Chains A and B, each alone.
Chain A
Amino acid sequence: MDKKKCLELIKLEVLGCLNETDTESLKIMKEKNDDFPWKELSDYQNLVALIPSALEMKYPASELKDKTAMKLYNIRDEIKAKIDAKKALEIPSLPVEEQLESEEKFVIEEKVEVEEKIFAEAEEGFHINTDEPLTPGKDESFRIVSNFKEKNESKNLTSETHGNTDVSVSKTAPEKDVIEKITRDYINTHMESEIDLLNQGIKKNKILSFIFFLITLILIGALYFIK
């Protein structure tokens, strides 16, 4: 390999100044030559990265941090999918027995937390759907993204929990059933009295409507007889 030619191309590459032919030549040199000057490439990459250090520092608007946090929040589904894929790759690497043991431990210690997190998520979801702007406070710009991460973890915990406690349900799609079960439990414990009150109100209204209906009938009958 012609090292001089190689260095010339490196100098142009680090400046992003290579034409197509030279780009291709340098690519081949990198792939095919064991003695490619990687150290020199690294030195020149660092050198050009140092060039902006001579500029006078300028500062972006402070609101930009919030704007960035919003952009990150908007790609939460994509990141969630990446985290899921990462976890899916990690889980099979554990031996089966070890995996089961660790899941069991998880279930006992974390179940209560999981339920709390799911309801926190539900409440937050409701908050997001309102007309209130999602702009975070000054020092908490990226917190909405953190919340997303916690939510995501709680969902994963849910599926792991379910896989061990309810044997009759398939481990492949446990999340929906668990959430329904937890929702039912929550309704039973937290909202039963409110539902009773609501039902009583409905009953009262029905009786009143019936009484008014009877009175109207009687009045119509009375008018008929008077005529």
Chain B
Amino acid sequence: MAESNSLTDAEIMLKIAGYDSKALEQLYDRYAPFLYTLIKKIVIDKETSEEILSDVFVIIWRQIDQFDFKTNNIYTWLVTLARNKAIDVLNRRGGKMLPDYNDEYEKEHIIPKLSKEVETLELDEVLNRKEKMEKALSSLTDAQRYVLELSYYGGMDQEEIANKLKIPTVTVKSKLQVAIGNLMQKLSEAK
């Protein structure tokens, strides 16, 4: 176990691509709490969150060939995958009309498609930047933070947010764009 603990995320993913289940276990040990925290924030319910987390690792195991080893951005891939899956469950549970969940749907809507030009992130590095992210988020206005949360954790699209807040869709779009732009700027300044 000591040996596998020293493996980087990229090395672990390579081993998973060879269906090494110990590597998957290593990835689970490393990422499960972080992904669970995100999933629970989205779906709230503990049991559903655990079910989703477990499904995320099944997806990783089944769809590892969908991971782009050229970009190798494991952190962002895993977080986006977990979020997509949790939002999908949330939407289905909320009665949103969605296509049947099958392999094709999973590849199209759940598996992340990351940019081909990518700066890779590692979990440890992200956790070290926790405070900076908290500060950057708290620097947003309440309205900006609220629309950002409705979108990121609530899985709502522009129209849904507009309906909820009873404001025009254009305003929602603009608030989201400003919020994410500001967040980027604040984080860059904090580097």
Residues of chain A in range 34-56 having any CB-CB distance to chain B below 8 Å: 38-39, 41-56
> Least Cβ distance of B123 to chain A in Å?
9
Given that A55-B38, A56-B37, A146-B21 are known contacts, is A64 also in contact with B50, CB under 8 Å in the complex?
yes
Q: A residues within 8 A CB of B75? A: 49
Does A17 make an interface contact (CB < 8 A)? yes
| B87 in contact with A79 (CB, 8 Å) | no
Across the interface, A51 reaches (CB within 8 A) one of B22, B57, B115, B133, namely B133
| A16 in contact with B87 (CB, 8 Å) | yes
| A60 in contact with B36 (CB, 8 Å) | yes
> Least Cβ distance of A147 to chain B in Å?
9
Q: B residues within 8 A CB of A41? A: 115, 117
| A52 in contact with B38 (CB, 8 Å) | yes
Does A132 make an interface contact (CB < 8 A)? no
Q: B residues within 8 A CB of A78? A: 62
| A52 in contact with B34 (CB, 8 Å) | yes
Max chain B Cβ within 10 angstroms of own Cβ: one of A38, A52, A61, A67: A52
Q: B residues within 8 A CB of A68? A: 28, 53-54, 57-58
Complex-state Cα separation, A181 to B114, whole angstroms: 51
Complex-state Cα separation, A17 to B153, whole angstroms: 11
Q: B residues within 8 A CB of A44? A: 180, 184
- Identity of the chain B residue whose Cβ is nearest the Cβ of A59 in the assembled complex: B33
| B33 in contact with A38 (CB, 8 Å) | no
Does A151 make an interface contact (CB < 8 A)? no
Residues of chain B in range 48-81 having any CB-CB distance to chain A below 8 Å: 49-50, 53-55, 57-58, 61-62, 65, 73, 75-76, 79-80
Q: A16-B87, A75-B62 are in contact. List 12 more A-B contacts (CB 8 A).
A: A11-B181, A15-B176, A42-B119, A46-B76, A49-B79, A51-B152, A52-B41, A60-B50, A65-B28, A67-B54, A141-B25, A149-B20
Q: Which residues of A contact B (CB under 8 A)?
A: 8, 11-12, 14-19, 38-39, 41-61, 64-65, 67-69, 71-72, 75, 78-79, 82-83, 141-143, 145-146, 148-149
